[in-house]
Amino acid sequence: YYDVHVMIFVGFGFLMTFLQRYGFSSVGFNFLIAAFSLQWATLMQGFFHGMHHGKIHVGVTSMINADFCTGSVLISFGAVLGKTSPVQLLVMAIFEVTLFAVNEFILLTILGANDAGGSMTIHTFGAYFGLVVTRVLYRPNLDKSKHRNSSVYHSDLFAMIGTIYLWMFWPSFNSAITNYGDPQHRTAMNTYYSLASCTLATFAFSALVNPEGKLDMVHIQNAALAGGVAVGTAGEMMLTPFGSMIVGFLAGTISVLGYKYLTPVLESKLKIQDTCGIHNLHGMPGVLGAVVGAVTSALASPAVYGNGLQRVFADGEPGEWNAQSRGGFQAISLVVTLGMALIGGLVTGFILKLPIYGAPPDTHCFEDGLYWEVPGEEEGHHELNEVATPNETEKLNS
């Protein structure tokens, strides 16, 4: 539980500090949203699958699950980072946590899917929900803030703190709610090997796609984590260390290529302004993880798992096991998750678009000074006034 908790507050928080003038907001708003979301998630998840005799039972498992739900919200936060007000973020959390709990109930209770590490429920849902929200909130004049939508040496170094914490604790994240014994050990080991392989692929492809052969810190901060996302569904299955390393290699590869070639296309053609590149770290690797989970489920058999089949698959009764059916339900779960995320993100995006939440103007996105007392604020305030129109300056002053 504590490893997962550190990932949510330290890992996600610092991972998003790469923007040169948005560090306070990245860590601070992450703190705010997470503290709110885990309380709301305890209620929402409790209503759907934690009720016993009219009471919501809480314990370490419910705390871990609430953190998982919070992680999904923080993934979406990455897509709208720097372009939304704290009130918008809290409103987004209210709707996303509720939809997350509904989607989780459909997948885990109705369809009986396996998704202990959340490739579908956490990463795929959070990524595509956030991408649709940021599409609805598209800002055609965001170029006015493009000089702030970049990193500096020390901000990238801070972001690496988040990366290292996430990387170290990801085996705990994926294995936290698996069955004790073999399934939990398998999950931790599969995640461990996938992350290691993914990191090597990230370094290799980061150098390959750079004309000068240099490494890009954006790739290292993000794509090196994609291996943990991609084994979230199949981690407790007989993926084997070799299979885990293949999955990790593929995840790191598609993530780096996504940052290099796909992100610019999404922004120019589809008008998706994805600040953190969550499509490359959580979206595509999440879908890959769901596919790997479906294939691995379809290949499962009592001959391979022995008496451990029931420990992994709830419907793995001897003589009743149908691997193809289980693989089919895993695939259906991915489709349901994508549908819930896209429709939910669309509705939430239009709600957030209402002009009542104090969203930052196009000229002052990615700027801490709008919401925080910043040391040396006088100089920062002068800079804001220089680029702001008279009306905007008056609003900022008030």
Where residue 393 falls among pLDDT bands split at 50, 70, 90? Answer: very low
159-182 per-position pLDDT tens digit: 999 999 999 999 999 999 999 999
Task: Tell me the CATH architecture of domain 2-366.
Answer: Orthogonal Bundle (1.10)
Query: Residue 383's pLDDT band (boundaries 50, 70, 90)?
Result: very low
CA angle 314, 320, 324 (to 5 degrees): 80
What is the domain partition of the chain in residue ranges?
2-366
Contacts of 98 (CB under 8 A, 6+ apart): 40, 44
Convert the pLDDT of each residue in 260-277 to its tens digit.
999 999 999 999 999 999
Q: If we measure between CA atoms, which residue out of 134, 154, 159, 19 comes closest to residue 84?
A: 134
Q: Tell me, what's the pLDDT at 376?
A: 78
Does pLDDT of 382 surpass 60? Answer: no
**Residue 128 corresponds to which tokens in the numbers above?**
């595509």
What percentage of the chain has pLDDT greater than the value 90? 86
pLDDT in tens, 96-144: 999 999 999 999 999 999 999 999 999 999 999 999 999 999 999 999 9
Q: Choose the weakest-confidence range: 49-53, 125-129, 328-332.
A: 49-53
Confidence category of residue 319, pLDDT binned at 50, 70, 90: low
Single-letter amino acid code for the residue at 249: F
pLDDT bracket for residue 321 (50, 70, 90)? confident
Q: Which amino acid is at 250?
A: L
Average pLDDT estimate for 232-255: 97
Please tell me whether residue 263 adopts helix, strand or coil conformation: helix
CA atoms within 13 A on the CB side of 183: 26
In sequence order, the β-bridge partners of residue 56 are 51
